[in-house]
Structure 1
Amino acid sequence: MEVSCAFPTALDSPDNIVLAERLGYARAWVYDTPQQSPDVWMTLALAAERTERIGLGPGVLVPSLRHPMVNAAATATLAALAPGRVAVSFGTGFTGRRAMGYRAITWSYMESYIRAYRGLLRGEVVEWEGAQMQMLHPDGHAPARPVDVPVLVGALGPKGHEVARELGDGLYVTLQLPEFMSEYSWVPYLAWGTVLDEGEASDSDHARVAGGPGWALAYHGAYEFGGPDAVRTLPGGEEWMGVVEKAPLEQRHLAVHTGHCVHLNEADRAAWDAGGHAMLQDVTISGTRDRVRRRLDELASHGVTELVFQPCGPDPGAELEKFLEAATS
């Protein structure tokens, strides 16, 4: 199983990707979350110019955020800057849409979008929104078509599985391990966590800042996919909902997604302090080096071919180094 990394796109992401390459990570995925991040393509271009080996790509692009021609042109640009190192993953928009108050896009839209996007990269004339178009880039403006870049699809259910199987080169997953995962030869799994010292408590300051943002996804995901009642079944869930429900109904998504994958927001801190931290090792890949290694072995046995680790906290370099050491020991 390869070990890669991911970053919620930030101004220092190119620096962290340079470090990840030096440490030996296989690939760096960067999030498409414009409500809290700088542009994903600008960030990847900067990383491409400063690296030589590490794979690069957006993980995941949210189709509704850009016209397919825009993403095709950006993909071609990155492929020119980092030949043979680019892969692209698409998703329906957990944070990239829900943090702005939208629901996820439909799988029918995803299918149409990926067909148009892949057709553009092949140099074909495609139809989008009732108009016919083609990449017309002259020499020096983009690589010659076809631009061959692997495309992965983030899917957990049957509709996504159908799109991924027909149009994708792999399956990009997180939070769950779908049964159909075994049908794919390339399966990156996005995960969070931290390596704890022997005897270190799950509610230590280090565990909170380095493992907490990934742990908080249990509450964010429960709220978005199951509603308030699902959150209240979790340790500290009542306290979490108590903070979120102070916001006006039409703005609660802001209270939920503030700090998403970066730091604990007010609701997350309330749940952590109320005992929710007890779930840390259950919902993230956190624990001693041996425990982390066992979790990775379990994921590989279920069909994960690439573990994608997102470091959190004030020292992502140290988290990258400790995690890779545990993963490869």
Structure 2
Amino acid sequence: MDVSCAFPTALDSPDNIALAERLGYHRAWVYDTPQQSPDVWMTLALAAERTERIGLGPGVLVPSLRHPMVNAAATATLAALAPGRVAVAFGTGFTGRRAMGYGAIRWSYMESYIRAYRGLLRGEIVEWEGAQMRMLHPDGHAPQRPIDVPILVGALGPKGNRVARELADGLFATLQPPEFMTEHSWVAYLEWGTVLDDGEDHGSERARVTAGPGWALSLHGAYEFGGPDAVRALPGGQEWLKVVEASPQEHRHLAVHSGHCVALNAADEAAWRAGGSSTLGNVTLSGTREQVRRRIDDYRSRGVTEIVFQPCGPDIEAELERFLEACA
């Protein structure tokens, strides 16, 4: 199993990616969350200039945020800066859309988008929004077409799995491992958490700042996919809802997704203090080195070929090192 990392795109992400390369990580993915992050493609370009070996890619791109020609041109640019190191993952949009008040895009749109995007990279004339277009980049403006870049698709259900099987080179999964992972030869699985010292409590301050942002996704996801009742069923859920529902209905998505994968927001903090931390070991890849190693072995047996770890907290290097030690 390859051991990769992910970062919620930030101004220091290029330096963190260079650090991950020095430590031996296989690939670095960065998020497409423009409502809280610097541009994903600018960040990857800077990382390409600072590295030589590590794989690079957006994980995941949200198609509705850019015209397929824009993403094709950006992909071509990164492929020129980091030849042989680029992979691209697409998803329907969790925080990348919901934090701006939108729902996920339809799989029919995703399918059409990836077909157009792949056709552009092959140098073909494609139709998009009723117009015919092709990459016209002359020498010195992009690599010669075709540009061969592997594509992963973020899918949890049968519609997404069909698109991944027909149009992609693999699967990018997170939150809930789908049963169909074994159908794909490349499965990148994104996890959050921290490696605890023996005897360290799940509710420790270090666990809160390093694994808490990933833990909070269990509340965010429950709210988005199951509504308030699903949140109430979770430890600390009632306290979380009290903070979120203090915002006007039209602004609640801002309260839910603030701090996504970076820090606990006010609602998350309330839930953590109310005992929500008790679920940390269930909803994140957190535990002792031996516990983390067993979880990774379980993922491998279920079809995961690339574990993707997002570190968090004030000492990214220490978190990256701890995780690699647990994987050894």
Pick the TM interval, shorter chain. over 0.9
Equivalence map 1:274-285=2 (5 Å)? 274-285=274-285
* SS of aligned partner of 1:35: coil
- Hey, what does 2:114 align to over in structure 1? 114
Identity %: 81
Q: CA deviation at 1:150?
A: 0.1
Q: CA deviation at 1:268?
A: 0.3
* SS of aligned partner of 1:89: strand
Q: CA deviation at 1:55?
A: 0.2
- Hey, what does 2:170 align to over in structure 1? 170
Which whole-Å CA distance do the structure 1 matches of 2:30 and 2:285 have between them?
A: 19
Q: CA deviation at 1:314?
A: 1.1
- Hey, what does 1:295 align to over in structure 2? 295
* SS of aligned partner of 2:72: helix
- Hey, what does 1:146 align to over in structure 2? 146
Structure 2 segments unaligned to the other structure (5+ residues) = none
Equivalence map 1:137-216=2 (5 Å)? 137-216=137-216
Q: List, as ranges, runs of 4+ consecutive aligned residues in structure 1 with deviation greater than 6 Å.
A: none
Equivalence map 1:67-82=2 (5 Å)? 67-82=67-82
TM-score of the two chains, using structure 1 as the length reference: 0.99
What are the Cα deviations for residues 8-50 of structure 1, in whole angstroms up to 9, with x where unaligned? Answer: 0000000000000000000000000000000000000000011
Which whole-Å CA distance do the structure 2 matches of 1:270 and 1:224 have between them?
A: 18
What are the Cα deviations for residues 233-257 of structure 1, in whole angstroms up to 9, with x where unaligned? Answer: 0000000000000000000000000
* SS of aligned partner of 1:57: strand
- Hey, what does 1:31 align to over in structure 2? 31
CA RMSD, 1 decimal: 0.4
Which whole-Å CA distance do the structure 1 matches of 2:39 and 2:314 have between them?
A: 22
Q: CA deviation at 1:316?
A: 1.1
* SS of aligned partner of 1:221: helix
Letter in 1 for 2:131: A
Q: CA deviation at 1:324?
A: 0.8
* SS of aligned partner of 1:25: coil
Q: CA deviation at 1:317?
A: 1.2
Structure 1 segments unaligned to the other structure (5+ residues) = none
TM-score of the two chains, using structure 2 as the length reference: 1.00
Equivalence map 1:89-100=2 (5 Å)? 89-100=89-100
Q: Does 1:21 align with 2:26?
A: no
Q: Does 1:227 align with 2:227?
A: yes
- Hey, what does 1:57 align to over in structure 2? 57
What are the Cα deviations for residues 156-185 of structure 1, in whole angstroms up to 9, with x where unaligned? Answer: 001101110100000000011111111000
Which whole-Å CA distance do the structure 2 matches of 1:314 and 1:101 have between them?
A: 30
Letter in 1 for 2:198: E
Aligned residues: 328
